[in-house]
């Protein structure tokens, strides 16, 4: 017996015929770039997220890069990002020529700490990128207030949080631009790569659309230098089918998280914390575990897939060495990097599979009784 981290064939099995039909329709249409499937998907997902515009792009990474480009961010400017996130959040800032300015996280949610943001704002700060890590929104009311006070645009990195809400506001619809990823393991996964920028600002939407297509204002006339960041019509057609089941996928993830909560309660792991007023979409189910690396080895030998998001905070990545950060600069993130472990979670995960995961964790701690709960 073994439990995978995600099970995409199981997700696609009930919609196999629909996916094949959509594939055939795109194949026969001869329309593989732009076209009705892309437009339909953009309109439908933007509506789901409560935004006026959805701009389909080639990946979540490109959504972030495009958002930064559309806001005119470049050399001499600074962008505030959490250090405890996926690489793309800061990598895209770097690629524009701007400087990523790292901040620490809240120890309970692992999301960016709004007070830390306020402390690093300077005259050069051109944007703030909160990341809705693991599927829970950052404290957007505090972040939006700070941003408004300093007149700085907010780009939401909602790659992991499609379907989450902060109060009654959907993830991705709160800042100037929201960035989604359709990497296959995300809440809405393509059969390949994809992403989307969301915005309710008509002018910004126009710039995003133009920059996605090499900054072209008219056929082969370029007002700005953009890139090829387009989402394929084929992926859009497939994503449209899956997007109709998004509510159901999120509900199943939340049910699985609820079951884990009950099953893991008596074990010495610290369970995910959902802040007040947040609707968690559980793209990942991330606990903190004493003796994490030993637990990993035990789970691997028991056939339980798992992952560590993320083992090295971004301020300590070799590629950012010239920014001059040191170990100890962001202690909350550095500690999280040593303790977090993400367990299998996906809509099709069964209670029996979860029991197998939990039994393996329980067996590990029974065999190493010295592991107490982690202090916080
Ligand atoms: C927080 C975060 N930001 C950005 C991305 C980038 O998305 P993609 O893999 O679609 O480029 C991811 C994807 O893993 C992510 O988790």
- The distance of Cα 172 from the centroid of its chain, to the nearest Å, equals 10
For ligand 1, whether the C-beta of 92 sits within 6 Å is no
Q: What integer is the mean pLDDT of 342-369? A: 96
Does the beta carbon of 156 lie inside 6 Å of ligand 1?
no
- Burial string for 209-245 (b: 16+ CB within 10 Å, else e) reads bbbbbebbeeeeeeeeebbebbbbbbbbbbbbebbee
Residue 93 beta carbon below 6 angstroms from any ligand 1 atom: no
Interatomic CA distance for residues 222 and 279, integer angstroms: 42
Using a 6 Å cutoff on CB, does residue 159 contact ligand 1? yes
Give the list of residues 6+ apart from residue 202 with CB closer than 8 angstroms, or none.
Answer: 52, 53
CB distance 210 to ligand 1 below 6 Å: no
Q: What is the pLDDT of residues 322-349, one digit of tens each?
A: 999 999 999 999 999 999 999 999 999 9
% of the chain exceeding 90 in pLDDT: 97
Q: Which two tokens stand for residue 11?
A: 């997700």
- Rounded to whole angstroms, the Cα distance separating 277 from 202 reads 29
Q: Is the CB of 342 under 6 A from ligand 1?
A: no
Instruction: Quickly count: other Cβ atoms within 10 Å of residue 335's Cβ.
Output: 17
Ligand 1 binding pocket includes 195 (Cβ within 6 Å): yes
Mean pLDDT of 250-266: 98
From atom 10 of ligand 1, which residue's Cα is the shortest distance away? 60
Q: Are 310 and 217 in contact (CB under 8 A)?
A: no
CA 86–ligand 1 middle distance (angstroms): 6
152: confidence class by pLDDT, cuts 50, 70, 90: very high
Q: Which of ligand 1's atoms lies nearest the C-alpha of 195? A: 10
**Helix pair angle (351-367, 292-301), 10° resolution:** 120
The DSSP output letter for 146 is H
Distance CA 271, CA 44 (A): 34
Which pLDDT band holds residue 369 (cuts at 50, 70, 90)? Answer: low
Percentage of residues in the chain with pLDDT exceeding 70? Answer: 98
pTM of the model: 0.97
Is residue 49 within 8 A of residue 173, CB to CB? The reply is yes
How much distance in Å is there from the Cα of 269 to the middle of ligand 1?
A: 26
61 lines ligand 1 (CB under 6 A): yes
Protein residue closest via CA to atom 8 of ligand 1: 60
d(CA 20, CA 14) in angstroms, rounded, equals 12
Judge if the beta carbon of residue 160 lies within 6 A of ligand 1: yes
Tokens of 337: 């990097």
For 94-132, the pLDDT digits (tens) are: 999 999 999 999 999 999 999 999 999 999 999 999 999
pLDDT at position 374: 66
Which residues, in sequence order, are CB contacts of 179 under 8 Å at separation 6+? 60, 63, 64, 67, 155, 156, 157, 158, 159, 172, 195, 196, 197, 198
- Pick the atom of ligand 1 nearest to 193's CA: 10
| pLDDT tens-digit readout, 304-325 | 999 999 999 999 999 999 999 9
| Beta-carbon count within 10 A of 248 CB | 10
Give the β-pairing of 78-82 and 99-103.
parallel
Give, as one character, the DSSP assignment of residue 31: -
Best of 129, 159, 282 for a ligand 1 pocket test (most atoms within 8 Å of beta carbon): 159
- CB-based burial label for 326 (10 Å; 0-12, 13-18, 19+): exposed
Report the relative pairing of strands 285-288 and 169-170 from DSSP bridges: unpaired
- Please give the distance, rounded to the nearest whole angstrom, from the Cα atom of residue 192 to the centre of ligand 1: 13
Helix or strand holding residue 368 (H, E)? none
Cα-Cα-Cα-Cα dihedral of 150, 155, 161, 163, to 10°?
A: 90
| pLDDT confidence of residue 28 | 98
Strands (DSSP E) found in the chain: 53-57, 78-82, 99-103, 125-128, 155-157, 165-166, 169-170, 177-181, 195-199, 216-218, 221-222, 278-279, 285-288, 340-343
59 CA: nearest ligand 1 atom: 10
Neighbours of 75 (CB within 10 A): 8
CA–centroid distance, residue 308 to ligand 1 (Å)? 15
- List pLDDT tens digits, range 191-229: 999 999 999 999 999 999 999 999 999 999 999 999 999
CA–centroid distance, 264 to ligand 1, in Å, is 28
Residue 200 neighbours by CB distance under 10 Å:
17
């Amino acid at each position: 017996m073994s439990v995978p981290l995600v099970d995409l064939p199981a997700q696609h099995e009930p919609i196999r015929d629909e996916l094949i039909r959509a594939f055939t329709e795109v194949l026969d249409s001869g329309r593989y770039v732009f076209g009705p499937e892309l437009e339909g998907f953009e309109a439908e997902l933007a509506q789901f997220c409560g935004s006026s515009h959805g701009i389909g792009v080639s990946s979540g990474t490109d959504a972030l890069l495009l958002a930064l480009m559309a806001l005119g961010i470049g050399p001499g400017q600074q962008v505030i990002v959490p250090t405890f996130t996926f690489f793309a959040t800061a990598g895209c800032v770097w690629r524009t020529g701007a400087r990523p300015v790292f901040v620490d996280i809240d120890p309970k949610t692992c999301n960016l700490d709004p007070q830390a943001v306020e402390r690093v704002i300077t005259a050069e700060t051109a944007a703030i990128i909160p990341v809705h890590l693991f599927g829970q929104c950052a404290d957007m009311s505090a972040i939006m207030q700070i941003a408004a006070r300093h007149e700085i645009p907010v780009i939401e990195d909602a790659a992991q949080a499609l379907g989450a809400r902060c109060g009654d506001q959907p993830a991705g619809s709160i800042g100037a631009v929201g960035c989604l990823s359709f990497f296959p393991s995300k809440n809405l996964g393509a059969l390949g790569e994809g992403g989307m920028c969301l915005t309710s600002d008509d002018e910004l939407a126009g710039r995003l659309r133009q920059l996605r297509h090499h900054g072209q204002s008219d056929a082969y006339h370029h007002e700005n230098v953009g890139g090829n960041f387009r989402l394929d019509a084929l992926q859009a057609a497939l994503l449209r089918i899956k997007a109709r089941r998004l509510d159901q996928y999120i509900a199943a993830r939340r049910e699985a998280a609820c079951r884990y909560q009950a099953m893991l309660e008596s074990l010495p792991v610290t369970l995910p914390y959902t802040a007040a007023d947040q609707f968690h979409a559980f793209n990942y189910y991330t606990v903190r575990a004493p003796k994490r690396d030993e637990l990993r080895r035990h789970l691997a030998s028991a056939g339980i897939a798992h992952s560590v998001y993320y083992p090295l905070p971004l301020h300590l990545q070799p590629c950012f060495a010239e920014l001059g950060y040191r170990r100890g600069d962001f202690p909350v993130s550095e500690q999280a990097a040593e303790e977090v472990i993400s367990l299998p979670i996906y809509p099709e995960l069964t209670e029996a599979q979860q029991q197998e995961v939990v039994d393996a964790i329980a067996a590990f701690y029974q065999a190493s009784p010295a592991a107490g709960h982690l202090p916080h």
